Amino acid sequence: MLELRPNCECCGRDLPPESSAARICSFECTFCASCVDEVLRGVCPNCGGNFVPRPIRPPEKLKSYPPSVKRVGRTSTC
């Protein structure tokens, strides 16, 4: 089950579960589309993998499978 992390690890932008701007790598590192395209150039700084759009969980499933509330950020700059 995807965590659906709540923010971009680079700029801190909020990425709610319904956001079409969220991008994830195979380890669920989560970044916004702007940071992926303009800063990271499509390569995850944590694992070196690529990014794909994060799936949007149907609203009726969010009650049983809520998104993560733990904000994740990088200790170094992006």
Task: List, for residues 30-66, the tens digit of each pLDDT value.
Answer: 999 999 999 999 999 999 999 999 999 999 999 999 9
Beta strands in 1-78 (DSSP E): 22-24, 30-32, 52-53
The pLDDT value recorded for residue 76 is: 80
Whether residue 77 is contained in a domain is answered as no
Whether residue 67 is contained in a domain is answered as no
Whether residue 69 is contained in a domain is answered as no
- Number of domains, the chain: 1
Segment 3-28 shows an average pLDDT of 97
Segment 23-32 shows an average pLDDT of 98
Whether residue 71 is contained in a domain is answered as no
Segment 3-31 shows an average pLDDT of 97
The pLDDT value recorded for residue 78 is: 86
The pLDDT value recorded for residue 75 is: 78
